């Protein structure tokens, strides 16, 4: 089996690298300090078409294949995990509408999402409900031609700026998905600050207090919110996060190589030390392995192979665990300098930890991957 990028994919890769180097990396530390993404950067991403990267050309999107989408998320993730998270949640909202929406929902929302006229976000997690999504407490009561929604959502990425939310609530006790506009009566988004990492993800807590949602804003059928809509969204989310972890780890490796070559102790560069070389070797191999897992997941998605779902679980699990290990070693190589925000590895370390939690914790991945493998031998 031959594994290499096509000429077109290599061309896109060079564009993504250039954009990240010029427009993201120089401002990533500022994003982290201010806990926000500069609106001008979002505008530039919109102009590039990146917010429509995952959507069909029919609706104004770029319609990138999944390997190219993975490369985009890897390179953006190399520059700033928070900026990459915008691509993730915006894409989750758009792809949910593409897959489960009515023709009128698709015709109305997808061109706006592809053009960046509206920003989308994903609202599943609640103050008391994380991995156990079936226990959500938000409710939707059908009344005439609209739903009355009550409840709270928490840790909602881009919740401070999103225009529409893919929101999940129980309707007659059955998890159901809805498209909720920010300006709906009874809807409120409260900004949250103080995250350990990915600090510019502009998270918010959402409150629905007798929020009125038209019946035509329900996405899919009653009861399919988790089994169909959310799971397909989370599959995309895990894939983009896995690719972003590869980019983050690559940034750690690049910084470590530079530092180990220039930092002199005992009269020679610390890169001459075999223990430093061991850490760098493990970084190189782990980054390459994670990248290939992501490419395999993307390839299987492109050919509509059902195994892509479990391959995505594997990629997200390995890449997120790998990135925290690589970031830890990068800080160690930098010594005391690695513990200060004048060096980017301090931010990389904090960002890496977030990726072990979002879109399924490491432990949830371990349970599901093991259970799937055990079922295969029974």
Cβ–Cβ contacts within 10 Å for residue 275, how many? 10
The Cα 166–Cα 328 span in angstroms is 35
Distance between CA atoms of residues 289 and 232, nearest Å: 25
Whether residue 324 contacts residue 353, with contact meaning beta carbons closer than 8 Å, is answered with yes
Euclidean distance between CA atoms 53 and 71, whole angstroms: 11
Tokens describing residue 233: 């969204």
Using alpha carbons, select from 315, 157, 324 the residue that is nearest to residue 239: 315
Closest-CA residue to 69 (of 274, 246, 254, 209): 246
Which is catalytic among the residues 216, 359, 366, 373? 359
Kind of pairing, strands 120-123 and 164-171?
parallel
Known active-site residue 35: no
DSSP per-residue codes, 286-340:
HHHHHHHHHHHHHHHHHTT-TTHHHHHHHHHHHHHHHHHHHHHHHHHHHGGGGGS
Between CA 276 and CA 287, with CA 281 as vertex, the angle to 5 degrees is: 125
Strand stretches in the chain, DSSP E? 120-123, 139-143, 146-156, 164-171, 174-181, 187-191, 204-214, 218-219, 264-265, 268-269
Contact present, 177 and 220 (Cβ < 8 Å)? yes
Which helix (H) or strand (E) segment is 128 a member of? none
Asked if 113 and 51 touch (Cβ cutoff 8 Å), the reply is: yes
| Tokens matching residue 193 | 């600050």
Could you list the active site residues?
359
């Amino acid at each position: 089996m031959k594994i290499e990028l096509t000429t077109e994919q290599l061309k896109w890769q060079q564009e993504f690298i250039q954009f990240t180097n010029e427009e993201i990396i120089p401002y990533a530390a500022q994003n982290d300090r201010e806990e926000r993404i500069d609106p001008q950067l979002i505008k530039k991403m919109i102009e590039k078409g990146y917010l429509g990267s995952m959507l069909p050309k029919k609706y104004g999107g770029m319609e990138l294949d999944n390997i190219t989408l993975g490369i985009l998320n890897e390179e953006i993730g190399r520059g700033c995990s928070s900026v990459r998270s915008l691509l993730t949640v915006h894409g989750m909202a758009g792809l949910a509408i593409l897959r489960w929406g009515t023709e009128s929902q698709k015709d109305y929302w997808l061109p706006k999402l592809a053009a960046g006229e509206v920003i989308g976000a994903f609202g599943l997690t609640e103050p008391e409900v994380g991995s156990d999504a079936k226990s959500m407490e938000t409710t939707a009561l059908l009344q005439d031609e609209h739903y009355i929604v009550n409840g709270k959502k928490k840790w909602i990425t881009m919740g401070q700026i999103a225009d529409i939310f893919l929101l999940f609530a129980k309707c007659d006790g059955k998890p159901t998905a809805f498209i909720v506009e920010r300006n709906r009566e009874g809807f409120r988004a409260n900004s949250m600050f103080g995250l350990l990492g990915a600090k510019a993800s502009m998270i918010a807590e959402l409150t629905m207090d007798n929020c009125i949602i038209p019946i035509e804003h329900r996405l899919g059928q009653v009861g399919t919110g988790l089994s169909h809509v959310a799971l397909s969204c989370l599959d995309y989310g895990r894939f983009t996060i896995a690719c972003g972890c590869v980019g983050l780890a690559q940034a750690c490796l690049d910084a470590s190589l530079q530092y180990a070559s220039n930092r002199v102790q005992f009269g020679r560069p610390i890169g001459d030390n075999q223990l430093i070389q061991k850490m760098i070797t493990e970084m190189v191999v782990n980054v390459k392995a994670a990248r290939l897992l992501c490419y395999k997941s993307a390839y299987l998605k492109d050919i509509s192979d059902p195994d892509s779902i479990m391959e995505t679980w594997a990629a997200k699990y390995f890449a997120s665990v790998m990135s925290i290990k690589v970031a830890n070693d990068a800080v160690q190589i930098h010594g005391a300098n690695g513990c200060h925000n004048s060096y980017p590895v301090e931010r990389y370390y904090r960002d890496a930890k977030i990726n072990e939690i979002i879109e399924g914790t490491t432990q949830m991945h371990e349970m599901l991957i093991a259970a799937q493998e055990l079922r295969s031998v029974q």
